Structure 1
Amino acid sequence: MKSIDSCTLKNGQVDAIAACSLMKRYKGSGHQALNDLSLQVTKGEFFGLLGANGAGKTTAVSLFSGFMSPDSGTVSIMGMGFRRDAKKIRQILGLVPQEIALYDQLTARENLLFFGRLYGFRGKKLQERIDQCLEFSRLTEQASRLVFSYSGGMKRRLNLATGLLHLPEILFLDEPTVGVDTQSRHLIHQQLVELNQKGTTILYTTHYMEEAQELCSRIGILDAGSIIKQGSPDELLKQSDCRNLEDLFLQLTGKQLRDT
């Protein structure tokens, strides 16, 4: 197994995210969710984790964000490990889960108020961050509506805003555009590019190859719990002589990218 030092140091610099030889099997299951997964994401990078449903994307994000522990292997965030530095890590991490994590019977503003207090914001600073997040997600005019009345795209945008309240340096997004309309997807893409250009490191999981090709400076192709290929989209296509990422995925795995 690789040492943590060999995974976090590259050209003398500490990676934003370093995962080394991660193994994960769920209790009562014969399925190996992650199988020797190793990954490095540099600070300021927009990295896409591309895989079919069931490939291990959500499990990987759960381990990267400290919500689950691996059976073996290590995860470090900016050179820190969860055992010793969990509090420090969570101050710089933002997570936008695949499942909508909002309270339907609260307004958008009330949801942001609730999550902002969990992050430790109070008073004027909290109100400023709420206003900024509402503006960022284009929901200022709908801020007083109950969330249950929102469209799927509006909920996704508010879900993103809750993960950004504390201005994280590193942002994990797990399939953030599943089930949203084209207009909302385009807006979310614009927002993420804007964040990344301002310096936020982004790890983005998706099974939409157009998203990966459009957004990501580098991608890792995940299959059966392992990253089998990684590089920039252009590099990978040039090396494989494939027309697009879906053809490349089929060539590498024998699977359609959108298998269920």
Structure 2
Amino acid sequence: MSSNAPPAAATAPAVISVRSLRKTYASGFEALKGIDLDIRRGEIFALLGPNGAGKTTLISIICGIVRATSGTVTVDSHDIVGGWRAARSQIGLVPQELTIDTFDTVRATAGFSRGLFGKRASPAHIEKVLRDLSLWDKRDSKVMTLSGGMKRRVLIAKALAHEPRILFLDEPTAGVDVELRRDMWDLVRALRASGVTIILTTHYIAEAEEMADRIGVVNRGELVVVEDKAELMRKLGRKQLILQLPARLEHIPDALAAYRLELSADGSELTYTYDTQSERTGITSLLDALAEAGIGFRDLRTQESSLEDIFVNLVRDQP
């Protein structure tokens, strides 16, 4: 399923601008090394990276939880330091950790979170949020009595209580059940359709591939790549053409060396790896070369890299 981005998202102005952002902790560990990033209004932006890459540090600085060592961040034109109140009011954050275990009810917890941002009480909005998250039946239950999955839903309700225009989801589906994951992505699509900007980190790369409009990859405190998802897969994706041979081949002829073919261990298959930008000319040229070398085939198939393959290669190839 595609993310069905609104047409305006691709050309929308930046709602978050990060410039030369660095963070060095007291231990000397450099978590961020000069990050520059613009996040467009109304898009779903997926931030990928291995553990310790700097994703959560970046999110925490934008949300005003952690102070940067240097650099600037603006949220809807408000500086997160000088205009922190206005900037923070635009943001809803769903943290990775379960940070609630209170005696308050679900409804009171969401309502209190709304009040923290100076918003007038709105029972109708709180009810809508709780219903969207399948929490309405639990509205009068104490949060501390809920399961881990239900507490995760309450965190999302808290983040949405003050009607933010930017929503951060830090590993939102880690360790949650399939039902919550489905409900969450349905809600994310609805929020994006209403103009909310979504920034998510996830270890489930298949989710990023399905949901995101753009992908950013962070590794060792650096932003390795930022690209529209479709363009990223076009540029960095790899395809393979696998040819099943009618007879066992002992070795690849020297005349085919330029194609860097791989011969299977039993000599029954040839594999040609190519990038998506040279698909037509590469395959046509290869087939002509095979014919000249007297090598036929009885069947062929193709396979292409996933976003996970691209991610792994980007991280592995970074010096």
Same fold, TM-score > 0.5, yes or no: yes
Say whether the 8 Å CA contact 1:48–1:220 is kept in structure 2.
yes
Following superposition, the deviation at residue 254 of structure 1 comes to: 1.6
TM-score by length of 2: 0.71
Question: Is residue 2:26 matched to residue 1:27?
Answer: yes
Question: Is residue 2:185 matched to residue 1:185?
Answer: no
Say whether the 8 Å CA contact 1:63–1:69 is kept in structure 2.
yes
Structure with larger Rg: 2
Say whether the 8 Å CA contact 1:14–1:79 is kept in structure 2.
no
Q: Structure 1 residue aligned with 2:315, among 235, 239, 253?
A: 253
Question: Deviations along 1:69-115, whole A, 9 cap, x unmatched?
Answer: 21111111112212321111122111111122323322211211322
- For 2:191, the equivalent position in structure 1 comes to 195
- Please give the alpha-carbon distance, in whole angstroms, between the structure 1 residues aligned to 2:58 and 2:100: 22
Q: Which deviates the most, 15-24 or 246-255?
A: 246-255
- For 1:8, the equivalent position in structure 2 comes to none
- Please give the alpha-carbon distance, in whole angstroms, between the structure 2 residues aligned to 1:88 and 1:121: 13
Q: Structure 1 residue aligned with 2:55, among 54, 57, 76?
A: 57
Q: Which sections of structure 2, spanning at least 5 residues, go unmatched?
A: 1-10, 239-304
Following superposition, the deviation at residue 117 of structure 1 comes to: 2.4
Alignment of 1:147-186 (within 5 A): 147-186=143-182
- Please give the alpha-carbon distance, in whole angstroms, between the structure 1 residues aligned to 2:152 and 2:33: 30
- Amino acid corresponding to residue 142 of structure 1 in structure 2: K
Question: Is residue 2:103 matched to residue 1:105?
Answer: yes
Aligned-residue identity in percent: 37
Following superposition, the deviation at residue 210 of structure 1 comes to: 1.0
Following superposition, the deviation at residue 40 of structure 1 comes to: 0.5
- Amino acid corresponding to residue 39 of structure 1 in structure 2: L
Q: Structure 2 residue aligned with 1:138, among 129, 134, 137?
A: 134
- Please give the alpha-carbon distance, in whole angstroms, between the structure 2 residues aligned to 1:103 and 1:132: 23
- For 2:14, the equivalent position in structure 1 comes to 15
- Please give the alpha-carbon distance, in whole angstroms, between the structure 1 residues aligned to 2:101 and 2:114: 14
Alignment of 1:214-225 (within 5 A): 214-225=210-221
Question: Deviations along 1:186-230, whole A, 9 cap, x unmatched?
Answer: 111111111011100111111210111111100101111111011
Alignment of 1:62-141 (within 5 A): 62-122=60-120, 125-141=121-137
Q: Which sections of structure 1, spanning at least 5 residues, go unmatched?
A: 1-10, 256-260
- Please give the alpha-carbon distance, in whole angstroms, between the structure 2 residues aligned to 1:103 and 1:62: 21
Q: Pick closer, same or farther for the CA change 1:103–1:117 going to 2, 3 Å.
A: farther
- Please give the alpha-carbon distance, in whole angstroms, between the structure 2 residues aligned to 1:79 and 1:22: 17
TM-score by length of 1: 0.87
Q: Pick closer, same or farther for the CA change 1:87–1:102 going to 2, 3 Å.
A: same
For the residue of structure 1 that corresponds to 2:82, the secondary structure is: helix
Say whether the 8 Å CA contact 1:109–1:130 is kept in structure 2.
yes
**Larger relative CO (CA 8 A, sep 6+): 1 or 2?**
1
- Amino acid corresponding to residue 159 of structure 1 in structure 2: L
Question: Deviations along 1:131-151, whole A, 9 cap, x unmatched?
Answer: 122112111111122223322
For the residue of structure 1 that corresponds to 2:83, the secondary structure is: helix
- Please give the alpha-carbon distance, in whole angstroms, between the structure 2 residues aligned to 1:62 and 1:92: 14
- Amino acid corresponding to residue 174 of structure 1 in structure 2: D
- Please give the alpha-carbon distance, in whole angstroms, between the structure 2 residues aligned to 1:128 and 1:119: 17
Following superposition, the deviation at residue 46 of structure 1 comes to: 0.8
Say whether the 8 Å CA contact 1:15–1:79 is kept in structure 2.
no
The two structures, once aligned, show a CA RMSD in angstroms of 1.7
In the comparison of the two structures, how many residue pairs are matched?
241
For the residue of structure 1 that corresponds to 2:100, the secondary structure is: coil
